[in-house]
Amino acid sequence: MRDKLTDRNFDQLAERFQQNIYNTSKGQLRQAVLMRDLLALPLLAKPCSVLDVGGGQGQLALRLAALGHQVHLTDISADMLEIAQAQAAAANLSQQFRFTHSPLQTLASQLAGQQYPLVLCHAVLEWLVDPASAIQQLRQVLAPGGILSLMFFNKDALRFSNIVYGNFDYVKADMRVKKPVRLSPQQPLLQADVLAWCQQAGFSVISKSGVRCFHDYLRDRQLQITQYSELEALELQYNQQEPYASLGRYTHLLLQG
């Protein structure tokens, strides 16, 4: 029987996250897509106050801080925050940051009514027991008319890729295993469900992008490295067009509150 689902904390796994996700072509591609989407927002044309919920080691936050934005980075993992603080100090960007050790669920009460014009929540929902309520909680820390940048693990793409790979039994089991891989999201989400939760919370969709629409489907995985520049260009060219946008391993939504 599968263990009872619990919210995930990545203490003791921070270094493995850095090696297996952040320092790879898939991590590089994630950053490229998110930055392209975010920098298209008019509110980032001048210094902005940004809340990065579950921001981990701060890769994206560091890039925004380097552009002059003030970033409040939060995470449930003290280990992740320690790495983010060290990297901010090494880049001489500490003055651009505020750090808070907190799970998403208690963040609104800790902020005591403080709200932000831009809130980021990337690759967090799929690790939560109750992702639907998390959308409502994110709404509480977003200023009226503000923008939520939401990225989540796409169950539709996970199913598609496993059928392509021939993992039919895994698909029949709804992609559930007795012993989950520690760095694999424990609860992939259907795009239709997430969009419904966002609508219920009062959000309207500004844009949708797929993240890794082609990267993960390459027959020759070496091309992810040897021809990365060409691959990134194609991802950025087509990842807001259907059907490719819905085939991204992750889905990135920009939502207005």
- Which residues are part of a known binding site for S-adenosyl-L-methionine? 30, 54-55, 75, 122
Q: How far apart are CA 236 and CA 99, in angstroms?
A: 31
Binding residues: 30, 54-55, 75, 122
Q: What b-and-e string marks burial along 170-182, b requiring 16 or more CB atoms within 10 Å of the CB?
A: bbeeeeeeeeeee
Q: Which of 137, 94, 133 is nearest to 119 (CA)?
A: 137
Q: How far apart are CA 102 and CA 109, in angstroms?
A: 10
Which tokens in the block code for residue 61? 């936050």
Exposed / middle / buried, residue 58 (Cβ in 10 Å: 0-12, 13-18, 19+): buried
Q: How far apart are CA 97 and CA 100, in angstroms?
A: 10
Give backbone dihedrals phi and psi of 120, rounded to 5 degrees, phi first. Answer: -110, 135
Give backbone dihedrals phi and psi of 234, rounded to 5 degrees, phi first. Answer: -70, -40
Q: Which of 193, 191, 187, 164 is nearest to 175 (CA)?
A: 187
Q: Which amino acid is at 141?
A: V
Q: Which amino acid is at 18?
A: Q
